[in-house]
Structure 1
């Protein structure tokens, strides 16, 4: 049986696993994301120790990473994190470092594309070919799967940085994105909520008006994604979406914003099956990295 490694390379933590599916995980480890040399050394050591101890060789390692990333094989910066605001990580050569350290082929994609692949392989999008996974947490990002494959385009989608309708009178908050101020991430990420409230958003009750505003911003973004991409399903993950009372609010607002223009029963009659949480929960990222490795090897 082919054995794969997966790395969920997050801005706050790395999750590494070895296995073939959610039901067959042979080893797993989590550790904080510190500076690149230390973090990647721990990643390499995890895979090397497993292979030596078990006299086994991994077929490939998939990595779903925070970004932005260079995913163009003809680029001199291919396989690197590029212009990330995370201190010390800009232009870190992820692929080269992990391949050199483990001797195993490494395949890289965005963390959200990887999570989307995981959900399509084993989770909430199983059986679908065209769908989206959006994470709303420390940052906001979106993974887009078209015809069963992750979409890159010029670089890769940056769905967290689209501009939303921002009523300055109703919400005078300027936003926290260092690049765009009040983009989607700048207005609706976890840190944006905390900046408004002066405390973690999860500490305020479900009836607090911040959640109505949050649902509106998420629904505005989904309205645009639905009109542009026409996904078969939208999966919403990340720490903010642990506030499950947001889901019905978002669904109602999406229907209101679309105003029956997108004439599809999934939106008009079964929207609770169209905008959904991830079936893999907080394991979507690392399982998606394993799915990425399997996809690149097995096709």
Structure 2
């Protein structure tokens, strides 16, 4: 690669196709053998003086970390759609552009949400545990029964790209779609879904509730003992968005009491070490924050991050820039 190619560093090794493109189109050091934390990323940035920094959640840039970036940095490109690991206003105030990777992970995140809905409703975790133990006895007619998904009322909180993709898939199960959002969608986007102006008004009508909105570690949990109590008894809760959206103590109590029949979680308040009380619940189906974890999607995310680097270096608009 020529010396005038954009200089970049990344906090973690990306997929092979993305690394091949980095070698072909950019000036970059070899990928790290292990994901870098913030201190190691900043040390590399000062040594290499990059034009762009590619990050994931393992190397958050907030507060003093933003101030510590070298003057050479013109773009922080996160290989994620979420931005909670970045201090976007501080970066923009330093005239450092920010980009993320929306859209390309919509389908896989929606697929995972549907998997969580099915797995929680049909007791997949309990069935798997039984089979791993050797099964051993025929199940009676009334033993270990799940809940049918077809025809149920699905409440979606956050009807953005992923929420709409979940609704599209749920219609294949003849589910009725309810949603709460900051604004009502136009009729074409709604596609027959029913809008509720407040979450509290929607919850009593939901057999299944699925969360698809941003979260903040400093904001009060959206789902707490009060809101869980508004759901019909025996409903199902799914969260493939952010762990901060749920009061986990209230969730544990609701799963133990039967207020919730089951839950499916891909995200947790304390990752990667979730509350042991959650892990012990038989009616909780869990995955380790893997909504975008497919070969196709993780490759597309890395490529979009590189597209943003190329665009800024050429003086063109960012394909997926982030504003304040």
What is the TM-score with the length of structure 2 in the denominator?
Answer: 0.33
* Bigger Cα Rg: 2
- The structure with the largest strand share of the pair is 1
